[in-house]
Amino acid sequence: MEPVNRSWYFGERPTGEPDRDCFELRKDPVPAPSDGELLVRVEYLSVDPYMRGRMRDSESYAEPWDVGDVLQGGIVGEVVESHSEQYDVGDFVTGNGSWAEYSLLDADDVALVDPETADLPAYLGVLGMPGRTAYFGLLEVGDPKPGDTVVVSGAAGAVGSVVGQIAKLNGCRVVGFAGADEKTRWLTDDLGFDAAINYKETDDYGAALDEAAPDGVDVYFDNVGGPITDAVFTKLNLDARVAVCGQIAHYNDEELPTGPRKLPQLIAPRAKVQGLLVADYATRFGEASEQLATWVASGQIQHRESVVEGLENAPDAFLGLFSGDNIGKQVVHVRD
Amino acid sequence: MEPVNRSWYFGERPTGEPDRDCFELRKDPVPAPSDGELLVRVEYLSVDPYMRGRMRDSESYAEPWDVGDVLQGGIVGEVVESHSEQYDVGDFVTGNGSWAEYSLLDADDVALVDPETADLPAYLGVLGMPGRTAYFGLLEVGDPKPGDTVVVSGAAGAVGSVVGQIAKLNGCRVVGFAGADEKTRWLTDDLGFDAAINYKETDDYGAALDEAAPDGVDVYFDNVGGPITDAVFTKLNLDARVAVCGQIAHYNDEELPTGPRKLPQLIAPRAKVQGLLVADYATRFGEASEQLATWVASGQIQHRESVVEGLENAPDAFLGLFSGDNIGKQVVHVRD
């Protein structure tokens, strides 16, 4: 009997909020690697908000999935068969693979990970794409100076939690928005944020900002959009920088949503607003990974992962991103 | 009998669209210069959209006017009394003065103008603040590269008409939005714009852009805001730059207006949107003035002024900016 590989397929395009019908679990034979490929037994699988964009039938920075495609994302796992001289069976690697128990990866497109340096899920979070997004987004687009006030939305998420800590290491006052007391406590008590606002506990984000960021906002790192962003834009200081990393509040909108116009608000402060995509910094990923690993090893940056057990629950892990179920990086533990 | 100086005072703060009640013409004695001051007989007076912001009771980049203040703006005129060694009676100068027949100016804050090089009104337009705004806004914020498509709103205005011509000198494809056939004809037939869209003749700005800017938009120089800007944002290319110079469509709004959210549109193209204020480039004004004068002298940049005759009609000249009465720079001819 052939060994079986369970994989998640794209079942149907969502209209508005996705649900379980968008996902279809199938059993296939475990695939065989070609020359230069590795067969990896998936330990952890990453679910990320940007994947919602791949469910749309329109070109964006990430190619859209077609119905019937195997879903793809960041994975970390163990090499069980190698057709490449670069990696041996038993190595742990990370790369972009399938939402599956076993995934084929091109040896040229993976990186070795060391389970002694950090737990495997960290390689999908602080030491993976979200950590690098925080690193380049904050430092290159946000350009924080000591004494600046940095505001982060989605602050308890995989990217936001790292952004805030890097801002603290740069001598900034850091204010985070998050949607639960457990999250805001984590930000202030463990991660060293100067203030955190539970946006589900107040309607008046402007007043909350006046208290948490009395000197205004020099850098805004936006993962969310919506009313939080509307409020922050009224507090931008002269020469403020806004890094637009994500807009999760709008990913399930069918039409381009409306809101207060922001361009009139940019002139007086001469604020700069810039869309951010980590792939643009690919040639410098080594620098970021090294620095982040150093900070993690020294305890200067802390990290947390929310783990959903079982490949069969991967869709729920993904859907939970939109209701803010996760604290830190959301991953799926695939291997039994 | 003392010589009389007619001056426009700020009569009342407008709610929404300003009207003549905001302006009050009074007769005062002609003022006497103190040490270091010049008495200037005003030849031409500038009216500019940004002045609407000074009518608000809120701090912005330009200090708000108080009711009872003499209105201020760019002027060009002849020195009739000098208490400074820098300028002689008979010199023509430009600076910020009063909406009046005679204005006192600090000799340190004016610049000599040469009526032989260009007609006096040009010193309030292409060779004045609007020209410098176009120069720095396009070159520093817009950062145009040869082959880029540059879109300008308010393209037949004082700033936009210069922006488009500098973009052409930089090897760009240039598309302008304006609100009259006489304006669009001026842009394409005289100024060398590749295309011009009369936004009053179509509702579908997206389709008009698809035709006029088939390769998308690399640089957007925005003087207007509103639905034109909404359409341009759907066409931004990778690494697009948006210079937010003005938002005249919204200056009379009492509440922050709503519209399609733009931040979600910035991520895929990694677009950069930046508020622009020419005062930030004050140390480089000499460079701009010299370059603009060279271009004007060689005929590489053309300019046009709309002249309203008579100080008594200055409010109408200002109010006309919001209905697009002007082609090129709007000035008021003060001297009989």
Question: DSSP readout, A248-270?
Answer: GGGTT-SS--EEE--GGGTTTTT
pLDDT higher than 70, residue A1? no
Q: How many CB atoms lie within 10 A of CB B239?
A: 15
Q: Which residue of A has its CA nearest to B267?
A: A275
Amino acid at A297: A
Question: SS3 of A15, please?
Answer: coil
Q: What is the pLDDT of residue B269?
A: 95
- Residues in Cβ contact with A241 at an 8 Å cutoff, skipping those fewer than 6 apart: A141, A142, A143, A218, A219, A220, A271, A272, A274
pLDDT higher than 90, residue A209? yes
Residue B141 CA to residue B26 CA, distance in Å, equals 42
Q: What is the pLDDT of residue B14?
A: 95
Chain B hits for A142, CB-CB cut-off 8 Å, are none
B147 touching chain A per CB within 8 A: no
Q: What is the pLDDT of residue B1?
A: 61
- A264–B270: do the CB atoms touch at under 8 Å? no
Instruction: Supply the DSSP symbol for A128.
Output: S
Q: What is the pLDDT of residue B108?
A: 96
Closest by Cβ to B273, choosing from A245, A250, A273? A273
Residue B336 CA to residue B333 CA, distance in Å, equals 8
Q: What is the pLDDT of residue A211?
A: 98
B265 touching chain A per CB within 8 A: yes
Q: Which residue of B has its CA nearest to A236?
A: B275
Write the secondary structure of chain B as one string of H (helix), E (strand) and C (coil).
Answer: CCCEEEEEEECCCCCCCCCHHHEEEEEEECCCCCCCEEEEEEEEEECCCCHHHHCCCCCCCCCCCCCCCECEEEEEEEEEEECCCCCCCCCEEEEEEECECEEEEEHHHCEECCCCCCCHHHHHCCCCHHHHHHHHHHHHHHCCCCCCEEEECCCCECCHHHHHHHHHHCCCEEEEEECCHHHHHHHHHHCCCCEEEECCCCCCHHHHHHHHCCCCEEEEEECCCHHHHHHHHCCEEEEEEEEECCCHHHCCCCCCCEEECCHHHCCCCCCEEEECCHHHHHHHHHHHHHHHHHHHHHCCCCCCEEEEECHHHHHHHHHHHHHCCCCEEEEEECCC
Q: What is the pLDDT of residue B76?
A: 98
Is residue B194 within 8 A of residue B150, CB to CB? The reply is: no
Q: How many CB atoms lie within 10 A of CB A277?
A: 19
B276 touching chain A per CB within 8 A: yes
Per-residue pLDDT of chain B (336 residues; tens, 9 = 90+): 678 999 999 999 999 999 999 999 999 999 999 999 999 999 999 999 999 999 998 877 788 999 999 999 999 999 999 999 999 999 999 999 999 999 999 999 999 999 988 999 999 999 999 999 999 999 999 999 999 999 999 999 999 999 999 999 999 999 999 999 999 999 999 999 999 999 999 999 999 999 999 999 999 999 999 999 999 999 999 999 999 999 999 999 988 899 999 999 999 999 999 999 999 999 999 999 999 999 999 999 999 999 999 999 999 999 999 999 999 999 999 997
Minimum distance, in Å, between the CA of residue A334 and any CA atom of chain B? 31
pLDDT band at A320 (very low <50, low <70, confident <90, very high): very high
One DSSP character per residue, A60-90 reads -SSPPPPTTPBPEEEEEEEEEEE-SSS--TT
Amino acid at B267: I
**Closest Cα to residue A99, out of A128, A73, A81, A68?**
A73
- Mean pLDDT for the stretch of residues A287-307: 97
Mutate to test the interface with A, among B237, B255, B267 (most CBs of A within 10 A): B267
User: In which residue are the tokens 């997206």 written?
Assistant: B206
User: What is the b/e burial string over A161-199, where b = at least 16 CB atoms within 10 angstroms of the residue's CB?
Assistant: bbbbbbbbebebbbbbbbbbeebbebbbeebebbbbbbb
**Mean pLDDT score across all residues of chain A:** 96
How are beta strands B149-152 and B111-112 bridged, if at all?
Answer: unpaired
Residue A219 CA to residue A200 CA, distance in Å, equals 23
Mutate to test the interface with B, among A52, A143, A256, A278 (most CBs of B within 10 A): A256
A1 touching chain B per CB within 8 A: no
A231 touching chain B per CB within 8 A: no
pLDDT band at A62 (very low <50, low <70, confident <90, very high): confident
Closest by Cβ to A247, choosing from B264, B274, B276? B264
Chain A hits for B258, CB-CB cut-off 8 Å, are 258-261
CB pairs below 8 Å between A and B: how many?
109
Domains in chain A, start-ordered, CATH in brackets? 4-125+304-333 (3.90.180.10), 129-279 (3.40.50.720)
Q: What is the pLDDT of residue A324?
A: 93
CA B277 to chain centre: 11
Minimum distance, in Å, between the CA of residue A237 and any CA atom of chain B? 12
Q: Which residue of A has its CA nearest to B247?
A: A264
| Terminal Cα-to-Cα distance of chain A (whole angstroms) | 20
pLDDT band at A58 (very low <50, low <70, confident <90, very high): confident
Question: SS3 of A118, please?
Answer: coil
Instruction: Supply the DSSP symbol for A100.
Output: B
pLDDT higher than 80, residue A59? no
- A264–B247: do the CB atoms touch at under 8 Å? yes
Residue B142 CA to residue B131 CA, distance in Å, equals 15
Is residue B72 within 8 A of residue B100, CB to CB? The reply is: no
Residue B141 CA to residue B151 CA, distance in Å, equals 14
